[in-house]
Amino acid sequence: MTVRIGYAAGAFDLFHVGHLNILRHAKEHCDFLIAGVVSDEMLRQVKGVDPIIPVLERVEIVRSITYVDHVHVETVPDKLETWNALHFTHFFKGDDWRGTEKGERLEREFAAVGVEVVYFPYTVHTSSTALRHALEIMSTAHPREDSSADGFAVTRG
């Protein structure tokens, strides 16, 4: 019997239930799950955002999830290049990619090397983008006060 090696990639910044759902569903469909955590540099390059949580901390969070067998830090945008390094048999993605140009391109490229693309339901009510936006609103409305070394309150916006 062939071992089903799954790969589920994401920024996993501001880890939330949507991230947990995709990792749980992925593990249900493979024998060995590799979680790809997008590096800080790749997040800036591909999504144009700075991570809230640094990559090494995101790796530790994802590594501690029981569904994850191995964590790989993604440093290249090309998923085929990642496949060449890891040789997974299944690639897991949220179904917000299904039927899109980038999703169909991914399916064609992976089909050529025998990788099955499996989509899981996207958790609509929660996303890192929504959490990031909420944090921005909260920090603007309620500046944080910290104590400085000399005991004075410092307000940060």
Cα angle 74, 61, 50; round to 5: 55
For range 91-117, the mean pLDDT: 93
- The yes-or-no verdict on residue 45 having pLDDT over 80 is yes
144-147 and 153-156 strand pairing: antiparallel
pLDDT-derived band at 132, boundaries 50, 70, 90: low
Q: H/E element holding 26?
A: helix 17-28
Q: Considering only 17-21, 48-52, 90-94, 128-132, which range has the smallest mean pLDDT?
A: 128-132
Q: How far apart are the first and last CA of the chain?
A: 57
The residue assigned the tokens 């064609």 is: 108
For residue 7, what pLDDT is reported?
98
What pLDDT, on the 0 to 100 scale, is given for residue 112? 97
Contacts of 26 (CB under 8 A, 6+ apart): 6, 8, 33, 67, 90, 92, 118, 120
Classify strands 32-38 and 116-120 as parallel, antiparallel or unpaired.
unpaired
pLDDT for position 135 = 53
Domains plus CATH for the chain?
5-124 (3.40.50.620), 127-157 (no CATH)
What long-range pairs does 100-109 form, CB within 8 A, spacing at least 24? 106/79, 109/79, 109/80
Q: What is the pLDDT of residue 94?
A: 84
C-alpha–C-alpha distance, residues 147 and 50, integer Å? 26
What Rg value do the Cα atoms of the chain yield, rounded? 18
Indicate if the pLDDT at residue 50 is higher than 70.
Answer: yes
Task: Tell me the pTM.
Answer: 0.79
